[in-house]
A and B are shown apart, each in its own frame.
Chain A
Amino acid sequence: MIAEYGHFALILALALALMQAIIPQIGAFAGNRLWMSTVRPLVAAQTLFVLISFGCLIFLFLNDDFSVRYVAENSNTLLPDRYKISAVWGAHEGSLLLWVFILALWSSAVSIFSANLPAHLVARVLAVMGFISVGFYFFLLFTSNPFDRSLPFFPSEGADLNPLLQDVGLIFHPPMLYMGYVGLSVAFSFSIAALLSGDTDSAWARWVRPWTLVSWIFLTLGISLGSWWAYYELGWGGWWFWDPVENASFMPWLVCTALIHSLSATEKRGVFRSWTLLLAIIAFSLSLLGTFLVRSGVLTSVHAFASDPTRGVFILTFLVIVIGGSLLLFALKGPTKNAPSGFSDLSKEMFILINNLLLMSLTVVILLGTLYPLIADVLGWGKISVGPPYFNLFFVPLTLLLAILMPIGSVLRWKRSTTVSVRHYFNGPLVCSIFLGGLFPFFYEGYEPIAAVTVMVALWIIFITLRDVWRKSAQTSRSVLHGLIRLNASYYGMVVAHIGVAICIIGVGLTSTYSVQRDIRMEPGDQVNVAGYQFKFVAIGPFKGPNYIADQAEIAVTRDDSAVAVLYPQKRRYLASGQTMTEASIDSGIFRDLYVALGEPLKGEAWALRVYVKPFVIWIWLGSAFIALGALIALLDRRYRINRRKAVHA
């Protein structure tokens, strides 16, 4: 019965979402307070029922109810409980239910934290979110119902969760990413509400900013978790593959980054109003497009589990209505006038504009690269996809330019800075970063110019940013300490996030230049030297896990005759599906990762082994964590306190 309860709760949630989409919206147009006031109870009820539905699905997985087709396809009695739970969102149907569940959570959050907003705005925003929910409920119920039974002949054992997804990283990665994707619906809904009501002033920007920051935090964490997972789980030692699904999550992140910056200009200076509205629409549209690309199967990739044209048609129709509709609304009602405040070429506004243009160019580059196989196919050029060379060709120079301009923009003043006043901010950092960056590769084997440039750019960012912190705190106050306390949280947030970018750059640049990879044949007793480390293949033997059997190797790593680490890479065979998986073993450190993966068994006791030494690779994720932390700090800024009295003064 549980499956039927879940199904029924889902239908009720749809009915409530329909009401939520229609009644408050009409109320807002007609100025009817009673109708507008229905929105909060409706959101609460919808959330409750989708929660019940989601809970039912988890219960079905935990109890191995294989009469439910989705459970039979994605779970197995041998699967450990934590993976039974993550299997709930391991494939198409469940991940959509997670999507709409998270949308309900965001709607509830908006409904709770919007006490200070005008009633008509809250009604409109939540009605738009209700509309999006309706689309997803329809999609779930008509094309992808996770509660479908396969009666009367149901399997006695499940087919198991894809072994690739049986991993701790994958328990958290999809929910994180979805929190980010779906969170962008808030900025989107605010944008649509503003367009509908014609109120697109800077108060709008201040309300949207904290929501955008929160979803940006989740997106950042979600993407870096995914990249970290790919690094240790796929066994190729790579951390980013320009896979369509990675791109699908990266594009909304780039646009959201642009949005965060343009929102600050709109809030503080009233400029870029229509642009900011558009960015909010694009960011969420790309999230939807991401869902579409992954779920429809128009692009095949490692990740695309579902490919069913009817589903694709449904999502596409939904996309056209939501994106096309909102862009039409934008075209008809977007503001044509900005606040009458000009700005000079050397001002924060100008640099935010350049930042936005660069971020959008990056997005377009990735969008074109991702859709290229599809475009080529439609135009009859055959099924071709563009690989990392294309992406790197455009991505690296654009990102470098962005990174070089970033700290300059961050220290300029609004409206105008004079050349004389700012020149001395940069002279010192310029000399220091070029000198130290140029020197750096001498500490490594082989002078790599790319490594020098990487370190120069990273230090350039760090020096200018920290110098500015010192200047601001020393100038404006009696003492530096007092000044440090007086600086506001959103400024500190920016500092931390920008330093995070510098850390990321170091990670990416140095890993790409100094990684050493060896594919070798080894027998027990063999030894190999990779980048100064001795890898000794000690032994190999069988290993039994809960739902797999494996060959496990023992590899001792030494450097200059002192032990560094012992690694245990595995080659697993999952019992239920018979699939084999490579489980790499990694010794992580601040300055280098040692990475060993088992390849194929060769004659006798010999194995093909893949050994990597990857310097600074962990800095990529460390930097991402800093970026997310920066956004979190900015969120604590007083201006966004939800309980602040009378936030409504434009």
Chain B
Amino acid sequence: MAGVTQNDKTHMVQLVYRLKLFLPLLIFIIVAVFLVVALGRDPNAMPSALLDRSVPEFSLRVLGDEDRYVGQEIFLGEPSLLNVWATWCFSCRIEHSYLLKLSSQGVRIVGLNYKDNGKKAKNWLLEMKDPYALSIIDNIGRFAMNLGVFGAPETYLIDGMGIIRYKHVGVIDDRIWYDHLLPVWESIK
């Protein structure tokens, strides 16, 4: 009898040990669930902490009308795209024709001329047509920094209350517009 209990005991010990070996698998399953859920989200969408906050305060001059200073009020009333662009930015040249198309469809686009040369910027808009309702000039990039701009081009979706609803880093094309921006745009219109 005693031998049997001894045997049972070793079996128990082995069983417990075996169960412990399942621990890594369990931890991995938890991590995997998180990864799966996280993957369904758009990582690029809004890395800055400004999502669903108002556009930061600014007072900047308007391109082509340099005596005029504007602030957050330009975003009030109707939804707009805020597009960060510059003449030194190669991708902006690619994006430009798409912006023209959007503005011809009635999308209001505000330009943020970022760390650029005013004369060149004006020539660029003359040469390739102007999709912007207005372009504000941010030479030193302070406003862009408050906004969390990484570089050009970048586009922010801002609703009629001046609240940032979405951010896209990089060029906008048909795919980006229909997949990502348009749904948000429809929801704030």
Contact = CB atoms under 8 A, between A and B. Distances in A.
For chain A, the bracket of interface size reads 35 or more
Contacts of B187: none
A356 B47 CA distance: 36
Nearest to B152: A578
A179 B134 CA distance: 52
Contact of B34 (A307, A375, A580): A375
B28 A298 contact: no
Contact of A297 (B21, B28, B44): B44
Contacts, number: 82
A195 to B, nearest CB: 11
Nearest to B41: A377
Given A274-B21, A578-B88, A324 B43 contact: no
Interface string B23-61: 011001101101111111101101101010000000000
A278 interface: yes
A282 B141 CA distance: 45
B47 A282 contact: no
B14 interface: yes
B18 A378 contact: no
B102 interface: no
A576 B90 contact: yes
A374 B35 contact: yes
B24 A331 contact: yes
Contacts of A304: 43
Contacts of A254: none
A488 B31 CA distance: 43
A336 B21 contact: yes
Contact of B43 (A274, A297, A577): A297
Contacts of A382: 49
A298 B39 contact: yes
B145 to A, nearest CB: 12
Nearest to A384: B49
B89 interface: yes
A337 B44 CA distance: 49
A573 B43 CA distance: 29
Interface in A104-143: none
Contacts of A450: none
Nearest to B141: A600
A383 B47 contact: yes
Given A324-B25, A578-B89, A312 B39 contact: yes
Given A297-B43, A316-B35, A374-B35, A336 B24 contact: no
Given A316-B32, A324-B32, A378-B34, A300 B43 contact: yes
A324 B29 contact: yes
Contacts of B14: 336-337
Contacts of A300: 43-44, 47
Contacts of B47: 300, 383
The B interface, classified by DSSP as helix, strand, loop or mixed, is helix
A336 B18 CA distance: 6
Contact of A328 (B25, B37, B51): B25
A197 to B, nearest CB: 17
Nearest to A328: B25
A331 B32 CA distance: 17
A82 B34 CA distance: 41
Interface in B73-106: 88-91
B57 to A, nearest CB: 22
B22 A331 contact: yes
Contacts of A59: none
B39 A313 contact: yes
B25 A327 contact: yes
Contact of B25 (A159, A312, A331, A577): A331
Contacts of B37: 378
A426 B35 CA distance: 47
Contacts of B151: 579
A309 B31 contact: no
A579 B41 CA distance: 29
Contact of B31 (A159, A330, A371): A371
B174 to A, nearest CB: 15
A319 B32 contact: yes
A14 B74 CA distance: 57
A323 B28 contact: yes
A579 B90 CA distance: 8
Interface string A339-381: 0000000000000000000000000000000010011011000
Contacts of B29: 324
Contacts of A323: 28, 32
A209 B187 CA distance: 59
Contact of A327 (B28, B38, B41, B90): B28
A579 B47 CA distance: 21
A296 interface: yes
24 contacts: A278-B24, A297-B43, A297-B44, A300-B44, A316-B32, A319-B32, A324-B28, A324-B29, A327-B25, A328-B25, A330-B21, A331-B21, A336-B21, A374-B38, A375-B34, A377-B41, A378-B37, A382-B49, A383-B46, A383-B49, A576-B90, A577-B90, A578-B89, A579-B151
Interface of B: 14, 17-18, 21-22, 24-25, 28-29, 31-32, 34-41, 43-44, 46-47, 49, 51, 88-91, 151
Interface of A: 159, 274, 278, 281-282, 285, 292, 296-300, 304, 307, 309, 312-313, 316, 319-320, 323-324, 327-328, 330-331, 334, 336-337, 371, 374-375, 377-378, 382-383, 573, 576-580
Given A312-B39, A328-B25, A577-B91, 14 more contacts: A278-B24, A297-B44, A298-B35, A298-B39, A299-B43, A324-B25, A327-B28, A331-B18, A334-B18, A336-B17, A336-B18, A336-B21, A377-B41, A382-B49
A-B complex: 4 closest residue pairs judged by Cβ atoms: A327-B25, A331-B22, A336-B17, A374-B38
